Amino acid sequence: MDDGRGRPVGTPALPSPNTPTPQRPATAPAPLAVKIDNVRAARPQTGLRAADVVYAEQVEGGLSRLMAVFATKLPKVVGPVRSARESDLELLRQYDRPTLAFSGAQHKLLPLIGQARLRPEQPGNVEGAFFRNSDKSAPHNLYLRPARLMPTAPTSAALTNGFRFGAAPDGGTPQTTRTVRYPSASFTFDWSAERGRWLVSTDGSPTVTSDGQRVTPATVVVQYVKMRSSRFHDFLGNTTPYTETVGSGTADVLRDGRVYGVKWKRPRAADGTDFTTAAGQPVNFADGQVWVVFARAS
């Protein structure tokens, strides 16, 4: 986490930028994951429409934060970038040594990030990768130039998250709007038949990027998970929630103006997440961006 004034906490605990990065096989490209601020002062965000997957999670104070995963396209700029959380490490384990771009973390968490099977990148590691923009105040004005971390997009082969794409499953129920609420945040998805996409709203306002374009995923997954207190807290002393993404449970998949009640399963952190019907058949997502919103299981 940062210290609330835009300065990373405990930065020296991470490996030096001169530390060699373990080599990955050419057949296993690595995606870029970026922690993105999602409070009102951080909006509109930049580069969010280019993400292949956007994860929405609850953080301290019942607020929300996003993690955007890029594989098929790298925008010129992404942000605002914010701090990492413990559960991010479990979530990202399903990808093969992804690059995680973040603004800092709680100092006791930094050693765990350094030991995780990913490439951590925060300000100071790569010259010119991160910069501050004057359009917002700190800590909501840190941005990333992805090209400074990787020369080209790694391709869809980097999306080793278990997601399947194709024809819609049988059944489903018509649904044109869905809202997921956290204690101090909310996401609403409205189906646009004209666009063939879901229109995202955050905390009651349309979610647009800094170029004025609406964020419009093709598929939305409301994944019901266990949430518990982690070992860490923010600089104000608020306990950080831990979102458990390994295990099994239920989910609602929204695509094509319909909702499908499905089951999800991820036996190990290294596994992708399988979404299946009650009969055990794989559930396909629609082609395009996927939003996964983690909601507390009842």
Q: How far apart are CA 235 and CA 297, in angstroms?
A: 28
262 and 251 Cβ atoms separated by less than 8 Å: yes
The tens-digit pLDDT sequence of the chain (298 residues) is 444 444 444 433 343 333 333 343 444 589 999 999 999 999 999 999 999 999 999 998 899 999 999 999 999 999 999 999 889 999 999 999 999 999 987 788 888 999 999 999 999 999 999 999 988 999 999 999 999 999 999 999 999 999 999 999 999 999 999 999 999 999 999 999 999 999 999 999 999 999 999 999 999 999 999 998 767 655 556 677 899 999 999 999 999 999 999 999 999 999 999 999 988 999 999 999 999 999 999 8
278 and 101 Cβ atoms separated by less than 8 Å: no
DSSP string, 4-18: SSS-BSSGGGSPPTT
Give the tokens for residue 298.
């009842």
219 HSE (CA, 13 A, CB side): 26
Count of beta carbons in the 10 Å neighbourhood of residue 116 = 18
Q: How far apart are CA 38 and CA 64, in angstroms?
A: 6
Indicate the pTM of the whole model.
0.89
89: enclosing H helix or E strand: helix 86-92
Q: How far apart are CA 284 and CA 228, in angstroms?
A: 30
